Amino acid sequence: MLGNELVTIDAETLTAKGRDIEMQQLKLRFEERVWELTEKKSEEEMKNEAIPPFLFRLVDFVKSRQEWTGTATELVEEVNHISVTRLISHFYYDILVPMGVTYDTKRTGSKRLIMLQSNEKNDGNDRNDSCDR
């Protein structure tokens, strides 16, 4: 039950997921004792909304240079985002690989380097997809 007679909120969001249905999000508005559907989002739409816009900026950054190597601090300065390594690691296979960007790390004596490369001519899986996480 979403509401009762004492409810003063006129809108709610219901997330439905089950064995027989795809996950979906329904936005409902309560008007004249009836809930009306105002918006419906699929699981794919909800996933896309959860992707930080930074990742798309990162893909554009790498594709514009074809290749980039440097530290996380240097990358932060380049793309203007603080938690770059966490986001890259988390979304690597879902976002970067399908968009043709490979990611690897390498530790030198004094630094931990991030290596990013654009692979627009292949599908992003032609190179060994090793990733130090």
What are the pLDDT digits (tens) for 92-133?
888 889 989 998 988 888 888 889 999 876 444 444 444 444
User: b or e along 80-96 (b: 16 or more beta carbons within 10 Å of the residue's beta carbon)?
Assistant: eeeebbebbeebbeebb
Q: HSE on the CB side for 23, CA within 13 Å?
A: 6
- pLDDT computed for residue 72 by the predictor: 84
Give residue 32's identity as a one-letter amino acid code: E
pLDDT above 70 as % of the chain = 81
Residue ranges of the alpha helices (H) in the chain?
A: 43-50, 53-65, 72-79, 84-91
Q: What structural domains does the chain harbor?
A: 11-47 (no CATH), 52-118 (3.30.56)
Question: DSSP alpha helices (H): ranges in 66-125?
Answer: 72-79, 84-91
Q: What pLDDT does residue 133 have? A: 41
Give pLDDT, residue 22: 85
* CA 128 and chain centroid, separation: 22
Cα 103 to Cα 92: distance, rounded to the nearest angstrom: 8
- Tell me: pLDDT of 81 over 70: no
Residues in the chain: 133
Verdict on whether the full-model pTM lies above 0.95 = no
Q: How confident is the model at residue 89 (pLDDT cuts 50, 70, 90)?
A: confident
